[in-house]
Amino acid sequence: MRQPLIMGNWKMNGSREEGVQLAKALADGLNAGSQEVAVCVPFVYVSDIRGALASSPIALGAQNVADQASGAYTGEISAAMLADCGVKYALVGHSERRSYYGDTSQSVANRFCQAQKQNVIPVLCVGETLEEREQDRTFQVVDEQLDAVIDAAGIEAFANAVIAYEPVWAIGTGKTASDEQAQEVHQYIRKRIADRNPAIAEKVQILYGGSVKPDNAKGLFAMPDIDGGLVGGASLDAKGFLQICHSV
């Protein structure tokens, strides 16, 4: 049985004080349950949020990680630095990174490998744009994004990784994929992994992201191949995010 995982992605929002208050409210309000909860916070607030979550089971995540181990890479944050600060998860290949900052499939694969080398669990984000979906290219796009990492890291690497399916057309738009639309792609991703290693496919958590809200979380999380959510906007509100966390 896969453990449900609910992750908040705060993106570039909030002040230090707001982040600490939000983290404290989550720590106070989270009911013990079968699920794991994590928050992916801005790099500069990692240590503050870690402090705020100190006595809570909520895990800490980062929103990206460098594709190199160390050295002259101005502005980058290495996986070793994240591990040093108590970070458990790092998103890699978020669509906002791919589209606005030029993260390529190759750099995403390198980020994934760097994270794993430092025991930071990579959360590989994949998903198609609206145009790609309308051209019936969803599976092809997801294949390409997955295969780049499988080729670089090996299928065994997915024993210690998370996948997030985030259709780009559903991110921040209020348009959620229907439960069935999301399940169809999740099932496809699991099958693609199973073709190479059925045991790993059975174990790997696949999260859905894209306008997850308190009122649609239950339906999505009830689908057999959806193991939780990667929540953007709705993770900035403690009450709403807790409701989502309690929907598994």
Does 62 interact with ligand 13P (rule: CB under 6 A)? Answer: no
For every residue of 130-175, DSSP letters joined together read: HHHHHTT-HHHHHHHHHHHHHHHH-GGGGGG-EEEE--GGGTTSS-
Q: How many residues bind ligand 13P (CB under 6 A)?
A: 14
Q: Which amino acid is at 51?
A: G
Q: Which is nearer to ligand 13P, 62 or 200 (CB)?
A: 62
Min separation Cβ 154 and ligand 13P, Å: 26
| Binding-site string for ligand 13P from residue 12 to residue 51, where x marks contact by CB under 6 A and - marks none | ----------------------------------------
CB of 172 to ligand 13P, least distance (A): 4
Q: Catalytic: which of 36, 94, 96, 186?
A: 94
Q: Is 231 in the site for ligand 13P (CB under 6 A)?
A: yes
Q: Is 11 assigned a ligand-binding role in the annotation? A: yes
State the minimum distance, in angstroms, from the CB of residue 7 to ligand 13P.
8
Q: How far is the CB of 222 from ligand 13P (least distance, A)?
A: 18
Question: Rounded CA gap, 50 and 227, in Å?
Answer: 25
Name 123's bridge partners: 91, 162
Phi, psi angles (nearest 5°) of residue 108: -65, -40
Residue (46 or 127) nearer to ligand 13P, CB: 127
- Helices first, then strands: H and E counts in the chain: 11, 8
> Which CB sits closer to ligand 13P, 200 or 221?
221
- Does residue 171 belong to the site contacting ligand 13P (CB under 6 A)? yes
The answer to whether 235 is annotated as binding is no
**Which of 78, 54, 53, 70 is CA-nearest to residue 62?**
78
211 labelled binding-site residue: yes
Ligand-binding site membership of 10 (annotated): yes
First to last CA, the chain: 13
Tell me: does residue 128 bind ligand 13P (CB under 6 A): no
Token pair for 55: 């006595």
Distance of CA 134 to the CA centre of its chain: 25
166 is catalytic: yes
Q: Catalytic site residues?
A: 94, 166
